[in-house]
Amino acid sequence: MRTRELAHVSPLLTAGLPLTRSALKYAKERYGGEVQHPLEVAAELRHAGCPDEVVASGVLHDVLETTDTDVNELAERFGKHVARLVQAVSEDPSIEDRDERKAALRAQVARARREAAIVFAADKVARVRELPSRLDRGLSRDDARRKLDHYQASLVMLQRRLGRAHPLVQQLEVELDRVDAGVRA
C-alpha cells in the first residue's frame, strides 16, 4: 500500500471502529505519519472479522518497541485489554541476542491470549509480504533468510496456538511459500 492509497483506506478500515480510529491517530503522531505497516496489520485483522480492540491493537502492535510509549500510557488511552495485547506481541528489549529475543517473543505469544496470537499472525503476514520490496531496497539475503527463519518458526507456533485452519495462519503459510523460494535462491 502506498501513502496516497492510505488516505482512502483508513476511513474504510476504521468505519464503525472508534478505538481503531483513535489508535490510528495516535500511531500517526508516534510514528511521524508513517503508518503503512500498522495499517496493513489492522486491515488483515479487520478482514478476519476481529473486534475493535483487536484491530486497534494491530495498529499499535509496534508502538512499545519503536517509540517511547509505555504500557501504562497505552492502558490509559486505549484500555487494559489493548495494552495487554500490545505488550504480549512486543519483544523484550533486555534480551540482546536477536535469535534469543525472537524465540522468547514466540514463546511469549504462545502463552498469551488467543487474540495476541491473532495480532502476531497478522503482523507476520504483513512482514512476509513486504520482504521482497525490502530486498529490493537493500536488505541483504542473509538478513532476509534470518527473518524468514523467524517467520517459519512463528508459523509453526501459530499452527499450534491457533490451529492450521485459522485464516491468518493459512495466509501466512501461503505468503511464506510464495516468498521463500525467491529469498533462499
pLDDT tens for residues 69-112? 999 999 999 999 999 999 999 999 999 999 999 999 999 999 99
pLDDT surpassing 90 at residue 16: no
The candidate with the shortest Cα–Cα distance to 89, out of 107, 77, 72, is 107
Q: How confident is the model at residue 8 (pLDDT cuts 50, 70, 90)?
A: very low
Cβ contact 116:85 at 8 Å:
yes
Indicate the average pLDDT of the chain: 91
Residue 86, pLDDT score:
98
Please compute the mean of the pLDDT values over residues 158-170 and round it to a whole number: 97
pTM of the model: 0.92
pLDDT surpassing 50 at residue 5: no
Domains along the chain with CATH numbers: 1-90 (1.10.3210.10), 93-185 (no CATH)
Q: What does the H/E/C string look like for the chain?
A: CCHHHHHHHHHHHHCCCHHHHHHHHHHHHHCCCCCHHHHHHHHHHHHCCCCHHHHHHHHHCCHHHHCCCCHHHHHHHHCHHHHHHHHHCCCCCCCCCHHHHHHHHHHHHHHCCHHHHHHHHHHHHHHHHHHHHHHHCCCCHHHHHHHHHHHHHHHHHHHHHHCCCCHHHHHHHHHHHHHHHHHHC
What is the per-residue burial (b if ≥16 Cβ within 10 Å, else e) of 142-172?
Answer: eebeebbebbbebbebbbebbeeebebbbbb
Q: Which residues contact 44 (CB under 8 A, 6 or more apart)?
A: 58, 122, 125, 126, 168, 171
Residue 32, pLDDT score:
83
Which of 26-30, 60-64, 84-88 has the lowest average pLDDT?
Answer: 26-30
- CA atoms of 28 and 38, how far apart (whole Å): 10
pLDDT surpassing 60 at residue 7: no
